[in-house]
Amino acid sequence: MKEYDIIVIGAGAGTKLVTPPSQIGKRVAVFEKESPGGTCLNRGCIPSKMIIYPSEIIRASEEAEKFPVRFPAKPVADISHIFQRVNATVKADSDSIPIAYDKNPNIDFYPRKATFKSGKVLTDGADEYTAKHIFVATGTRPSIPKIPGLENTPYWTSREALQGNPFPKSLIIIGAGFISLELGAAYHAYGTKVQAVTRAEILKHADLEIREELAKHLPFPIESHFKIESVEYENQEFTLRGIDATGQKRSFQAERLLIAAGVEANTDDLGLEHTRIQTHGAGFLRVNNFLETDEPGVYAFGDVIGRYFFRHSANFEGEYLFENLYLKEKMEAIKYPPMPEAVFTHPQIASVGFTEEELVTKKIPYYKGKNPYSSSATGMARMSNSGFVKVLVSKETEQVLGAHIIGDEASNLIHQIVLGMYLKARLDDYLGMIYIHPAISEITRNAFRKVREEKKKAK
Whether residue 353 sits in one domain with residue 211: no
Q: Cis peptide before 372, with omega less than 30 degrees from 0?
A: no
Residue 442's Cβ-count burial label (10 Å; 0-12, 13-18, 19+) is buried
Annotated ligand binding at 176? The verdict is yes
Whether residue 135 sits in one domain with residue 31: yes
Q: Which is the catalytic residue, given 81, 280, 415, 437?
A: 437
Summarize pLDDT for 24-41 with one digit per residue, the tens.
999 999 999 999 999 999
Annotated ligand binding at 303? The verdict is yes
CATH number at residue 411: 3.30.390.30
CATH number at residue 55: 3.50.50.60
Number of folded domains that form the chain: 3
Question: Does residue 151 belong to any structural domain of this protein?
Answer: no
pLDDT confidence bin for 236, thresholds 50/70/90 = very high
> Which DSSP helix (H) or strand (E) runs through 402?
strand 400-406
Annotated ligand binding at 143? The verdict is no
C-alpha 111/C-alpha 105 separation (Å) is: 17
pLDDT confidence bin for 165, thresholds 50/70/90 = confident
Q: In 10-90, at which residue ranges do the beta strands (DSSP E only) sit? A: 28-31
Question: Does residue 221 belong to any structural domain of this protein?
Answer: yes
**Inter-axis angle of helices 45-62 and 178-189, nearest 10:** 50
Phi and psi at 142, nearest 5°, equal: -60, 140
Whether residue 323 sits in one domain with residue 197: no
pLDDT of residue 195: 98
pLDDT of residue 459: 76
Question: Does residue 69 belong to any structural domain of this protein?
Answer: yes
Whether residue 249 sits in one domain with residue 274: no
Q: What is the average per-residue pLDDT within 415-442? A: 97
Residue 301 has pLDDT above 80, yes or no: yes
Whether residue 6 sits in one domain with residue 138: yes
Whether residue 257 sits in one domain with residue 268: no
pLDDT of residue 315: 97
Whether residue 414 sits in one domain with residue 370: yes
Annotated ligand binding at 240? The verdict is no
Question: Does residue 336 belong to any structural domain of this protein?
Answer: no
Whether residue 270 sits in one domain with residue 249: no
Question: Does residue 359 belong to any structural domain of this protein?
Answer: yes
pLDDT confidence bin for 131, thresholds 50/70/90 = very high
Q: What is the average per-residue pLDDT within 86-100? A: 95
Q: 229, 244, 261 — which closes off a domain?
A: 261
Whether residue 403 sits in one domain with residue 357: yes
C-alpha 105/C-alpha 112 separation (Å) is: 20
Q: Which of 384, 352, 357, 390 is nearest to 371 (CA)?
A: 390
Annotated ligand binding at 49? The verdict is yes
Q: What is the average per-residue pLDDT within 296-306? A: 98
pLDDT of residue 17: 97
pLDDT of residue 458: 86
Whether residue 121 sits in one domain with residue 15: yes
pTM for the whole thing? Answer: 0.95
pLDDT of residue 278: 98
Is 437 assigned a catalytic role?
A: yes
% of the chain beyond a pLDDT of 90: 96
Summarize pLDDT for 56-81 with one digit per residue, the tens.
999 999 899 899 999 888 889 999 99
Residue 418 has pLDDT above 80, yes or no: yes
Residue 323 DSSP one-character state: I
pLDDT confidence bin for 433, thresholds 50/70/90 = very high
Q: 261, 292, 314 — which closes off a domain?
A: 261
pLDDT of residue 73: 85
Question: Does residue 321 belong to any structural domain of this protein?
Answer: yes
Residue 168 has pLDDT above 90, yes or no: yes
C-alpha 36/C-alpha 378 separation (Å) is: 42
C-alpha 121/C-alpha 130 separation (Å) is: 5
Q: Where are the alpha helices (DSSP H) in 72-207?
A: 79-102, 158-161, 178-189
Question: Does residue 333 belong to any structural domain of this protein?
Answer: no
Summarize pLDDT for 106-123 with one digit per residue, the tens.
999 999 999 999 999 999
Q: 261, 289, 304 — which closes off a domain?
A: 261
The answer to whether 357 and 366 are in contact (CB under 8 A) is no
For residue 286, the number of C-alpha atoms closer than 13 Å in the C-beta half-sphere is: 11
Residue 151 has pLDDT above 90, yes or no: yes
Collapse the DSSP code of 41 into the 3-class scheme (helix H, G, I; strand E, B; otherwise coil) and give the result: helix
Annotated ligand binding at 358? The verdict is no
Q: Domain residues for 215?
A: 158-261
Whether residue 288 sits in one domain with residue 176: no
Whether residue 257 sits in one domain with residue 281: no
Annotated ligand binding at 180? The verdict is yes
Question: Does residue 153 belong to any structural domain of this protein?
Answer: no
- DSSP percent split of the chain into helix, strand, coil, nearest 5: 35, 25, 40
